[in-house]
């Protein structure tokens, strides 16, 4: 901003390089909300007359309506959203508009706008997280009894039900939800009144402003308040974590949709074709989400890198906080909406999943635990069953087709009851510890989530 201190205007090149209104216009509603609260405090302090206060309120309301309608003209020469709105206000009502910036700096003004923005977008993202969780809960209820292999190292490991898988994704999203709420709590601190870095000799009622804007706390150090962007970094981390969880989900769904797995099929509405190969049906929405997660990480690192070299208080480098913030918010909101709409349309190949889960090797751990229940130490039982697995593989037999006599050659603890181990649904029923995928546990978790959501 260049006023009386400068004899010459900034060059056009410098203006184009330094303007931020092309990005920060998105803060306009928050900027106006902050100005209305600030005007009320100025009126309470006697800086504005009642008439001036009413003029400011009326004009800002009209300006906000024009912005929402797309009728407001943003001027790059005025640098940012704050000066554009202030200039429009002063042009309309004159001296009263010029009084609005009393006891306020763009430093505490932008800090305020960003906190209001993060609070509002946190609420919106939490709403979309809940919508996605509801989609997943519906799938968990629909596929409560569908047995499938659980995987470690991308190798078949132990049987689970598909509902248990979707409930697992809901747990991750619940951590995201809690993390975003926690971020919003730390953003819920009013910085307005900090001025450029040392407040003002014109003391306003900051508690009044906080009540008007819905802030729970007041900043306690003006120097810190204008330079603090921790809440944005934390928010970007929360958004990156959501992206990571959606990316991991995407990777799994992409694999499951391949011919090699054949577990699911994406609907036509959320798939694309190939420009060359007529047979292709590509899971592009999931792939794009997996790719966009890299941008979310990049935005977090970009902000942290900007912050790491800054002295205390406000520096112009902080203008670079908005691009990463806005991009991450838009990216995550879009991804959450896409997944909430895409998941209910997945077609599940129940037969293929249950056929894959019918692999007796998935019950090798159950076999070892069978020996443990007969008194064998687990490490010995693990080794004994490992030998059985090798013997079955060499003989090209399923593990449950090894004869009892051969089993007893490895351990005399095997008896006729061993064949009961090779029953997937019986195995699942026994997995009754808290958090395990027994039918009763899964049903209880579905009920718990229904109550929560």
Residues with catalytic function: 153, 274
Contacts 24+ apart (CB under 8 A), 42-46: 42/99, 42/100, 42/102, 42/103, 42/204, 44/204, 44/205, 44/208, 45/202, 45/203, 45/204, 45/205
Give the H or E element holding residue 394. Answer: helix 378-394
Q: Tokens in use for 72? A: 């407001």
CA dihedral 263, 267, 271, 277 (to 10 degrees): 70
In whole angstroms, give the CA distance from residue 325 to residue 9: 31
CA-wise closest residue to 314 among 231, 229, 230, 227? 227
Buried-state track 107-134, b at ≥16 Cβ within 10 A, e below 16? bbbbbbbbbbbbbbbbeebbebbbebbb
Strand partners, 158: 150
Q: Which residue has the tokens 């209001």?
A: 116
β-bridge pairing 264-265 and 347-348: antiparallel
DSSP state, residue 76: G
């Amino acid at each position: 901003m260049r006023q009386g201190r400068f004899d010459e205007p900034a060059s056009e090149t410098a203006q184009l390089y330094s303007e931020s209104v092309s990005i920060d216009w998105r803060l306009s509603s928050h900027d106006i909300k902050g100005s209305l609260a600030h005007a009320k405090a100025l009126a309470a302090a006697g800086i504005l007359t009642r008439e001036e206060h009413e003029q400011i309120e009326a004009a800002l309301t009209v300006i906000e309506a024009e912005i929402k309608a797309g009728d407001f003209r943003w001027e790059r020469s005025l640098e940012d959203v704050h000066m554009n709105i202030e200039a429009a206000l002063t042009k309309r009502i004159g001296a009263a508009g010029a009084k609005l910036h009393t006891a306020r700096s763009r430093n505490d003004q932008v800090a305020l706008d960003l906190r209001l923005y993060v609070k509002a977008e946190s609420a919106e993202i939490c709403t979309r997280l809940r919508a996605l969780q509801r989609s997943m809960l519906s799938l968990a209820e629909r596929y409560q009894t569908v047995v499938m292999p659980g995987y470690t190292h991308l190798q078949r490991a132990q049987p689970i039900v598909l509902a248990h898988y979707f409930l697992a994704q809901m747990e991750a999203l619940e951590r995201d939800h809690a993390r975003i709420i926690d971020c919003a709590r730390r953003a819920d601190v009013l910085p307005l009144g900090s001025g450029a870095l040392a407040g003002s000799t014109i003391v306003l009622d900051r508690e009044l402003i906080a009540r008007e804007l819905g802030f729970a706390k007041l900043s306690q150090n003006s120097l810190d308040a204008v330079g603090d962007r921790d809440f944005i970094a934390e928010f970007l981390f929360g958004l990156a974590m959501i992206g990571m969880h959606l990316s991991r989900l995407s990777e799994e769904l992409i694999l499951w949709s391949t011919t090699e797995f054949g577990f699911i099929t994406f609907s036509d509405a959320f798939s694309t074709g190939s420009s060359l190969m007529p047979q292709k049906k590509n899971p592009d929405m999931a792939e794009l989400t997996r790719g966009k997660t890299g941008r979310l990480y990049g935005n977090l690192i970009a902000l942290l890198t900007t912050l790491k070299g800054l002295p205390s208080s406000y520096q112009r480098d902080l203008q670079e906080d908005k691009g990463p913030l806005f991009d991450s918010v838009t990216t995550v909101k879009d991804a959450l909406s896409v997944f909430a709409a895409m998941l209910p349309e997945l077609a599940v190949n129940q037969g293929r999943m249950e056929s894959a889960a019918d692999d007796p090797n998935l019950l090798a751990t159950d076999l070892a635990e069978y020996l443990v229940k007969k008194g064998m130490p687990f490490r010995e039982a693990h080794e004994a069953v490992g030998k059985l697995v090798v013997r079955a593989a060499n003989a090209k037999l399923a593990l449950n087709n090894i004869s009892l006599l051969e089993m007893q050659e490895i351990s005399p603890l095997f008896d006729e009851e061993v064949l009961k181990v090779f029953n997937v649904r019986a195995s699942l029923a026994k997995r009754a510890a808290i958090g395990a995928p027994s039918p009763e546990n899964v049903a209880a978790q579905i009920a718990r989530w229904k109550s929560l959501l």
